Structure 1
Amino acid sequence: MGILIWHDLSRNISLTASLYAVWAGLWGIFFRKFFWDFIGGILRAPGGLQPSPKAAVFITVIVKYPILQAITMILGFIMVALEYPAPILKGTSVHRSFGLRVVLLTIQASVAIFFYQGTNAALWSLIAAMTYIRALTLGETIEGFKGDTHCH
């Protein structure tokens, strides 16, 4: 049996989470609902659960204007460009940085958790960030590319 290479596992989880974040952001634009609307909501007989008036900021940035969905999609595209990697980033120090990936995945999770469709992307982004932290603590590195297309 081989040795688990944590940054390869992290890369696969991150790619999945980031592509899911882009997909969730797209669906979140068409079906606007913020995830935490049940906290402090008012249950009405005709109309169901109405969000609390204290959630006006979430209604503005998720329901009225899909700002968080757009930010999630942009972060997802950036992460896909880092993980795949884009030809302009291949072999650069930005591409080899685990710390940058942990920060971007944490921000992606923090933004995606607020709208309903982004909760799974947020969960998997946090898992990818944790596995990158594990790779960092084990001292794993991504070497520069010398013509091949695989990380070492």
Structure 2
Amino acid sequence: MGKLIWHELSRYISLTASVYAVWASFWGFFFRKFFWDFIGGTLRAPGGLQPSPKVAIFITVIVKHPIVQIATMALGFIMITLEYPLPVLKGTAIHRSIILRVVLLTIQASGTVLFYQGTNAALWSLIAVMFYIRALMLREKMEEGKRNTGPVEQA
């Protein structure tokens, strides 16, 4: 058998989670629902479950104005450009940084868990974060980073 390369596995999971986050954000524009509205809500006979007035800020930024969906979509596109790199980013320090990916995926998971369509993207983003942390604990380096380190030629 071979040795599992954790950052490659987490790269594929992160790419899938980011595409899912963009897709969920797209559907979140049309079907706006705050996922955690059932906590502390009031059940009314002719109206169903009414969210608590304590979560009015979330209703504003998710249901009335899709700010969370727009931010999640933008962050999803940023993560896609990091995981499936643009030619401009390939081999740069930003592209090789595992810590940056952990931070961005954590932010992406925090945003996608708020609206109903993004809960699966949040779950897969957190799984990718755990695998990236495992890669950091094993001191894995990205392949582009390994190729860039070598003896310096004297001119």
**TM-score normalised by length of structure 1:** 0.93
Task: Give structure 2 stretches of 5+ with no counterpart.
Answer: 148-155
- Say which SS state the counterpart of residue 43 (structure 1) adopts: strand
Superposed counterparts of 1:112-151, under 5 Å:
112-144=112-144
For structure 1, list consecutive stretches of 5 or more residues without a partner in the other structure.
Answer: 147-152
CA–CA distance in 2 between the matches of 1:144 and 1:137? 19
Shift of 1:16: 0.4
Alpha-carbon shift at residue 55 of structure 1 (Å): 1.1
Q: Which has the larger radius of gyration?
A: 2
Runs of 4 or more, structure 1, over 6 Å off, are none
**1:47 Cα deviation (Å)?**
1.4
**C-alpha deviations, 1:42-74, integer Å up to 9, x for none?**
101111101111111011000000000011101
Q: Take 1:17 and 1:138, find their aligned partners in 2: how far apart are those partners?
A: 23
1:28 corresponds to 2:28: yes
CA RMSD of superposed structures (Å): 1.0
Q: Residue 49 of structure 2 aligns to a residue in which SS? A: strand
Q: Deviations over 1:14-58 (max 9, x none)?
A: 000000000000000110001000011010111110111111101
Provide the residue aligned with 2:152 in structure 1. none
* Residue 42, structure 1, aligned to residue 64, structure 2: no
Find the aligned partners of 1:144 and 1:35 in 2 and give their Cα distance: 39
Residues 93-147 of structure 1: CA deviation (Å, up to 9, x unaligned):
100000000000000001111100111101110110110010011011113287x
- Residue 78 of structure 2 corresponds to which residue in structure 1? 78
Summarize the alignment of residues 59-98 of structure 1 with structure 2, pairs less than 5 Å apart: 59-98=59-98
> Paired residue for 2:150?
none
Q: Displacement, 1:12? A: 0.4
Which of 98-107 and 134-143 deviates more?
134-143
Name the count of aligned residue pairs: 146
What's the secondary structure of 2:143's corresponding residue? coil
Asked whether the equivalents of residues 91 and 143 of structure 1 are also in contact (C-alpha less than 8 Å), the reply is no
Looking at structure 1, the residues matched to 18 and 144 of structure 2 have their Cα atoms a distance apart, in angstroms, of 23
* One-letter identity of the residue aligned with 2:10: S
Residue 111 (structure 2) aligns with: 111
Identity %: 75
